[in-house]
Amino acid sequence: MNYTHLGRTGLLVSKLCLGTMNFGPQTIEADSFAIMDKALELGINFFDTANVYGWKIGEGVTEQIIGRWLAQGGGRREKIVLATKVYGKMGEGPNDRRLSAYQIRRACDESLSRLQTDHIDLYQMHHVDRETPWEEIWQAMELLVQQGKVLYIGSSNFAGWQIAQAQQKAHHFMGLVCEQSLYNLRDRMIELEVIPACRSYGLGLIPYSPLAGGILGGALEKQAKGRRASEHVQKEIEENRSKLEAYEGLCKEMGEQPADVALAWLLHNPAVTAPIIGPRTMEQLEGSLRPLAMQLPDEILKKLDEIWPGPGGEAPEAYAW
């Protein structure tokens, strides 16, 4: 396994991040335990979750599963960089969501309890809160750091200007160390401003949905299987059919699986810290390692850009002289 710094910090994380969103809803607890054990064995030390995962309001199902896995001991907690998130709806009360100091404090304590740990390595804002001032957010986050409950703060789904605003308001506090964004060969909007903002402020980039919900994982060949058989995914396949035909054809010429090429493309980008892989099975986890060793020559990268063109580079040059 290869490791890299999380943004401008001294913390080293694996080049693949284990996403746990499927633990509970898609993967039973015993299999989730086995996947996490195998991830450690493979050298993956970066685990990502959120208080809302499990999709039962207020229960934190996925965090509870991870907590019971950590409670088994064996040095599990000491071997991982544990990331979770705050913002989503965790109750029916008016203050059971978003990023008020009231909610940040309570949500953190509740996550710590479910995760059965005394600290969160990376606490991420799951979305920007336009109704709470940055002075309040940073005061609450800095207090958690001072108390030893949180080590680093990250963001998710922020626009470039919101990253800049957050950092300007952080003052002496370290502020954000990473941004978790939707990013893959098909969805490249963040190349306009988010990636430049991350680079300018020294934030790591953690792409989620690296296979675009399965579209980039051999969708044409597997479109009748699993979640690809859903009406929503079938519609996406039809909308992207010509691109998918060219993409899967190129992957076949390369002798590589489409999912591996999509991950390798992300790993090739120096702005990317670690794509989030969300395996539902052990087979999917073990299959995610191949891209780490893949090299994409310039001619392949050029062909991929032709099939899945980005926004044209960084703003404003992407759209202005």
- Which residues belong to the active site? 53
For the chain, give the number of residues: 321
DSSP classification of residue 23: B
Q: How far apart are CA 298 and CA 296, in angstroms?
A: 7
How many CB atoms within 10 Å of residue 267?
Answer: 21
The H or E element spanning position 2 is none
Contacts of 130 (CB under 8 A, 6+ apart): none
Is 212 exposed, middle or buried (CB count within 10 Å of its CB: 0-12, 13-18, 19+)?
buried
> What backbone torsions phi and psi does residue 239 show, to the nearest 5 degrees?
-65, -30
- Tell me the CB-side half-sphere exposure of residue 241, using CA atoms within 13 A: 5
Angle at 175 (CA atoms; ends 118, 122), nearest 5 degrees? 30
Contact 176, 154 (CB under 8 A): yes
DSSP string for residues in 79-104: H-EEEEEE-S--SSSTTSSS--HHHH
What are 227's strand-pairing partners?
Answer: none
Look-up: residue for tokens 């991040």? 17
